[in-house]
Structure 1
Amino acid sequence: MVDQAGKDVIIKARGVSVQFGAKKILENLDLDVRRGEIMGFVGPSGAGKSVLLRTILGLNKKQAGTIEVFGIDYEKASDRERLAVERRWGVLFQHGALFSSLTVLENIQVPMREYLTLSPKLMDELARLKIDLVGLAPDAADKYPSELSGGMIKRAALARALALDPDIVFLDEPTSGLDPIGAADFDELIMTLRDTLGLSVYMVTHDLDSLFQACDRIAVLGDRKVLVEGPLSKMLDYDHPWVKSYFHGKRARTVVLDDDAAGRPRPNGAG
């Protein structure tokens, strides 16, 4: 699929509506996610960011609309087609969602055991490669989640999301709970993985630094739909009360001033 800008679209949502009981969360939502980009999703609490992510993954039922991933309508797909799609994505849920009774190595091997037929030795080797890929020390392999710091949990969960060498990774609040240095390091890791592995990244976040530094495009959810999507420059120019407050508020100005002082370019030349 190719959009009007000539970009390869790997997620295409049209007219998506989701509600729980009588409460409408999303209504007639349209969205495109392009290959090779880091796309950030932001919006007020309760706007439906995580609901949309879970709906794309098939974890929430939608009442209307279509969602195509890699050109396949997941809801109407055969079991074989669904399996093929699931092997091409990886997910980092909020707070990591690691299995507490499994070591880091064993957590990373969970997708391998579910979707692949590999020898234990090969799975060990592949899991250790993923541990190295996300910047964890080799001895992290034998640690349990309770023995990890917050930053290590995020990296271990990312290693599990990368277990099957996916084309796209879904990140739900990946820097929440991290200190500013840890969050910045995680953003750098995501950008490096995107560039070296050719990943597409779908990132739900409230972190202004992540939006300003890492994202190629941003989608703002509000009023049960995508209010605006595009590069950061479009967010800064968009005339909507919440968008203006978020991207021009005191915290946003601090991020801009810090970037300007450090001489760091922002995505798409915004600013």
Structure 2
Amino acid sequence: MHPSDSDRPSPNGRATPDDDDVIIRATGVTVSFGEKTILDNLDLDVRRGEILGFVGPSGAGKSVLLRTILGLNPKQAGTIEILGTDYERANDAERLAVERRWGVLFQHGALFSSLTVLENIQVPMREYLDLSPGLMEELARLKIDLVGLAPDAADKFPSELSGGMIKRAALARALALDPDIVFLDEPTSGLDPIGAADFDQLIMTLRDTLGLTVYMVTHDLDSLFQACDRIAVLGERKVLVEGPLSMMLEFDHPWVHSYFRGKRARTIVQPTQTANAPVGAA
């Protein structure tokens, strides 16, 4: 998905989406720990139905922003609206309504080691829904099938799963409540290239099938190039640039240039860039 025709130009030259298209809006967000400021007056919009890749140097604050959006980290300034609700100012009932509409895949899966895959997926159902045990089991098994796990994975414990299976089981748990938004924190880290590519394809398929909005923190260049509709780059305590891949390739900033045009990126970028170049062109 690309910026719609309804996008309006903003004073800084970037497209400003209509309010109906924005499912997460962070405005002027500042987060500090002690005297150290991690995020400073940060702005970011996430659009309905897109896969947004959020990238930046290690330690820049990508996970801090994710946790702040989820209400797990306090902020010192700014507002964060999710599905039209200011989460910080919402009452308990309003917060509960928002929480039921998001799912989270934490880094490394964060499955409960003492619970089976089936029981892990049922945790959000037990927390937020009033369902019979039989219905919960049926729904959990549907989620297992949805993420491409074999039926017998349901009775396995996390210690019995491969890295790829852990990611898929954690994704099934994130989908337990049929959310509108899925937050993914480094979803392909630790996976081999084939497993990572398969996971990217799964995310794209689920987005298209279920109409999800996906907020993905990642370092994976392949994920950014293949799966993401837009990319936002965090640096210098704010979002340096957000937009399609073509904007990343043109943006004049040392880290952005090195990341998207460095040696590792060239094998991905160069074929598409040079496909129409004259024979013999550099």
TM over 0.5: yes
Category of TM-score, reference length = shorter chain: over 0.9
Q: Residues 18-29 of structure 1 correspond to what in structure 2 (within 5 A)?
A: 18-29=31-42
State the match for 2:91 in structure 1.
78
Give the drift of 1:257.
4.2
- The structure 2 residue matched to 1:48, chosen from 46, 61, 71, is 61
Secondary structure, counterpart of 2:40 in structure 1: strand
The RMSD of aligned alpha carbons is: 1.4
Give the equivalent residue in structure 1 for 2:177.
164
Residue by residue, what CA displacement relative to the aligned partner does 1:132-161 show, whole Å, maximum 9, x if unpaired? Answer: 000000000000000000000000000000
Aligned to 2:114: 101
Moved over 6 A (4+): 258-261
- Using the size of structure 2 for normalisation, the TM-score is 0.90
SS at match of 1:46: coil
Whole-Å separation in 2 of the counterparts to 1:123 and 1:5: 38
Measured after TM superposition, the shift of residue 255 of structure 1 is 1.8
Q: Which residue is equivalent to 1:10?
A: 23
1:201 aligns with 2:214: yes
What SS does the corresponding residue of 2:207 show, helix, strand or coil?
helix
- In structure 2, what is the equivalent of residue 150 of structure 1? 163
Contact preservation (8 Å) 2:261, 2:269? no
Aligned equivalent of 2:12: none
User: What letter corresponds to residue 189 of structure 2 in structure 1?
Assistant: S
* Amino acid in the other structure paired with 1:249: G
Q: Distance in 2 between matches of 1:140 and 1:259?
A: 39
Match of 2:278 in 1: none
Q: Which residue of 138, 143, 157 maps to 1:125?
A: 138
Gaps of 5+ in 1: 264-271
**Percent sequence identity over aligned pairs:** 85
Q: Which runs of 5 or more residues in structure 2 are unaligned?
A: 1-5, 8-15, 276-282
* Partner-residue secondary structure (3-state), 2:68: helix
Structure 1 position 258, deviation (Å)? 6.2
Residues 40-89 of structure 1 show CA distances to partners (whole Å, capped at 9, x for unaligned) of: 00000111100000000000000000000011000010000000000000
- The superposition leaves residues 96-130 of structure 1 with CA deviations (integer Å, 9 ceiling, x where unpaired) of 00000000000000000000000000000000000
How many matched pairs? Answer: 261
Distance across 2 between alignment mates of 1:258 and 1:186:
23
Provide TM-score, normalisation by structure 1.
0.94
Q: Distance in 2 between matches of 1:146 and 1:83?
A: 32
Tell me the secondary structure at the aligned position of residue 51 of structure 1.
helix
In structure 2, relative to structure 1, the CA distance for the partners of 1:260 and 1:103 (3 Å cut) is farther
| Residue 250 (structure 2) aligns with | 237
Correspondence 1:223 to 2:232:
no
1:246 counterpart = 2:259: yes
1:178 aligned partner: 191
